[in-house]
Chain A
Amino acid sequence: METTVAQIQVIPLQYYIIFCSALFSIGVIGVLAKRNALVIFMSVELMLNSANLLLAAFSAYRNDPAGQIFVFFIMVVAAAEVAIGLALLVVVYRSTKTIDINALNRLKW
């Protein structure tokens, strides 16, 4: 444990912040720009994990394990969310034979 913390602290904190911001922005752009529902999902995961990484990094720098515990919770929730989301996708694919989100534009008033 000690060694892991030490290894994390080898890299300066700013690097983590920049890297995570970049990762998050890629996720946001992916969600906004892509029409493939599966890719949108992956982008959402990207955003989640960038936040996780940042939490872990801050946790190591501040010597506060709470942040890492929090990461575990996020992972559990994310897993549940993925399970539901993928199930929805399967159903959408079965009825429309595509996973293009524009195929869902019939779901309006």
Chain B
Amino acid sequence: MSELVTRNYSLVTEYMELISILLLVFPLLGFLAIGLFQKQMNRSFSGILASSVIFINLILAAILFNFVSSSNQTVETQLFDWIKFGDISIPMSLTVDRLSALMMLIVNGVGLLIHIYSIGYMKEDEGVNRFFAYMNLFVFFMLTLVLSSNYLMLFIGWEGVGLSSYLLIGFWFKDHVNNDAAKKAFIMNRIGDLGFLLGIFLLYSTFKTLSISEIAAKASLMPSGDLTLTAITLCLFIGAMGKSAQIPLFTWLPDAMAGPTPVSALIHAATMVTAGIYLIARSSVLFVLSPVTMNIILVIGAATAIVGGIIAIYQNDIKKVLAYSTVSQLGFMFMALGLGSFSGAMFHLTTHAFFKALLFLSAGSVIHALGNEQDIRKMGGLRKKIPFTFALFIIGTIAISGIPPFAGFFSKELILSAAYEHGTGMGILATAISLLTTLYMFRLLFVVFYKPESKEIKANHHIHESPKVMLYPMAILAILSVVAGFVQMPKLFSETQGFDTFLSPVFAKASGLATVSGQALSVQTEWLTLIIPISIIFVLIFLSYKRFVNNKELAVQTGIQHVFANKFYFDEIYDFFLVKPLAFISNVFRGLLDQTIINGFVNAVGNGTLFVGKRLRRLQTGNVGLYLIFMVFSIIAILFFNIIL
């Protein structure tokens, strides 16, 4: 009997391993099929194919998720030995635990909705087949990143999503601005990736393995504050900074909005940019043991959240506002990581994926309705013209602002309570940051939908609601944005902490090692931290309503507002201090080293050969008899010398 159970059991595990491989196979096949036959494939078919691939993936991911969450075990799949020489052995293998299962669901779930939305959004585009090929490629690499069981394979996925991001930002490559944006994203990410790579090298030289679980096991025996660990975690964090758009490497994300809007929703809001958070949550043991790095993460996260939030208030491009909002929310997640609340960061990551994707898709719907208009100054009064989009946008706005009972409230609450446990000052700072969200999101809402119609809107008679294929995915995201939060109620309302409990096996080791255990809050403080922010939110909504709805033109910017509107001049500062000097040095080297020395040497070799050749060719007289005599006497000479010498 027990034998039967074991056999049955191992059979199930085998199926799960197979599923985890199939998860990677399907998007890759989708990419190859659409990518290789993009010239032949019917334009309307590629979207359906790409979406069905992701749909199958979503079902597989759901099965895996169900298995992992019910059986509380991880699925380890060995694919093959990848690098093996000397005592270095790095296998290709997949790990599905609760953390990766969650990410898998987000990537496939949000990915599926955005794929379907894109069928409508990209319908008119001539490169629609190429678009869907890239989208499937992205899903493939993102799943590689999420599923990998060692850091090197994770790095492949990491670079792969960077590549897909580059391809999709520069999707409309005929416009040079888009290419520049794509290159900027790629190069900024490269800086972070260098840090990540150095981190991997350090990891290997310290632990002699790259397996994530083995490293966690070995690291948990090391003392807290170990210097090597601090160096490793700092390097990994630099990688996370690049991918997740943190100060100082965040300037690529707003520019990345040059890509099609579904791309912004999928890659630059919901999934890829959260890879940095995933990386740190994955390496939670290492980070918990280096308090210095945790503090740096906290500071940088907070700074990014504030800077991103402030810039977002002063942007006039609907997608730029959302992009800076993403920067700010990512900063908020990093704050949570820095506070040691890994599940808080992951929870906010999840809910953020839903409502930010919803907001981007709604923005896409607005842009679609207005015929590619992105400037909010030329919008206004759209709530009557496109009521569905308006309703969905308002749900997203409420969710991101953290108004109960929408999803954003619960995830922010988890982070805020972690902040208050860390200290009251930190708590107030976190609250202030989350209030910034309200400011820029409601400004956007009021200006786009409530403000009196601008003259461009009045003149535009082609404004139309988006097709159903775009609205339905948005509706599903809206439902998720409303209900997703209920899996984890604040401690005040519910005993069961659904999300925390779900991820607790993953972070068990890390939370066991955590040095600072926060002060549990009294019930009164908890109520205060709930009520005060919410009441301030409503005041802010009222104020921005007064200001932006009645104000026909957006207020003229003065003084410090100029600095905010110009993104704190980050791009200009980088240009002056980094790009310009680098370009200068490069020019010097091009002139001196490349043109003069290297090129001179190469030319000298060529000229020398020509010179010698010109003289030696006189030997070739054309007289065959002479050649033969040369030949015979040379052979005799060779024989002769061979015999004597």
Contact = CB atoms under 8 A, between A and B. Distances in A.
B425 interface: no
Contacts of B632: 28, 31-32
Interface stretch (B169-177, B487-495, B565-573, B619-627): B619-627
Interface string A67-109: 0000000000000000000000000000000000110111111
B287 to A, nearest CB: 73
A105 B628 contact: no
Nearest to B614: A109
Interface in A7-64: 28, 31-32, 35, 40
B629 interface: yes
Contacts of B84: none
| Interface SS majority for chain A | helix
A105 B621 contact: yes
Interface in B607-645: 617-618, 620-625, 628-629, 632
A32 B630 CA distance: 10
B617 A32 contact: no
Contacts of A109: 617-618, 620
A87 B163 CA distance: 58
Contacts of A105: 621-624
A74 B146 CA distance: 66
A109 B618 CA distance: 7
Contacts, number: 28
A32 B620 contact: no
B622 A107 contact: yes
Contact of A108 (B622, B625, B628): B622
B622 A32 contact: no
Nearest to A103: B624
A25 B400 CA distance: 102
Contacts of A35: 625
A108 B618 CA distance: 8
| Interface SS majority for chain B | helix
A105 B617 CA distance: 14
Contacts of B620: 108-109
B354 to A, nearest CB: 77
**Is the interface on chain B under 10, 10 to 19, 20 to 34, or 35 or more residues?**
10 to 19
B243 to A, nearest CB: 63
A101 B625 CA distance: 7
Contact of B625 (A32, A106, A107): A32
B629 A102 contact: no
Contacts of A108: 620-622
A31 B617 CA distance: 24
B632 to A, nearest CB: 6
B624 A104 contact: yes
A3 B622 CA distance: 51
A109 B621 CA distance: 7
A32 B623 CA distance: 12
A101 B624 contact: yes
Contacts of A107: 622
B614 to A, nearest CB: 9
Given A109-B617, A109-B618, A102 B623 contact: yes
A54 to B, nearest CB: 15
Contact of A106 (B617, B618, B622, B629): B622
B623 A31 contact: no
A109 to B, nearest CB: 4
A19 to B, nearest CB: 20
A32 B621 contact: no
B300 to A, nearest CB: 71
B628 A104 contact: no
A53 B3 CA distance: 81
Nearest to B635: A28
A102 B627 CA distance: 12
B625 A102 contact: yes
A31 B622 contact: no
Nearest to B622: A108
A109 B629 CA distance: 19
Contacts of A28: 632
A32 B628 contact: yes
A31 to B, nearest CB: 6
A102 B623 CA distance: 6
Nearest to A101: B624
Nearest to B613: A109
Contacts of B622: 104-108
By CB atoms of chain A within 10 A, which of B617, B620, B621, B628 has the most?
B628
Nearest to B621: A108
Given A104-B624, A109-B620, 16 more contacts: A28-B632, A31-B632, A32-B625, A32-B629, A32-B632, A101-B624, A101-B625, A102-B623, A104-B622, A105-B621, A105-B623, A107-B622, A108-B620, A108-B621, A108-B622, A109-B618
Interface of B: 617-618, 620-625, 628-629, 632
10 contacts: A28-B632, A32-B625, A32-B628, A32-B629, A102-B623, A102-B625, A104-B624, A108-B622, A109-B617, A109-B618
Interface of A: 28, 31-32, 35, 40, 101-102, 104-109
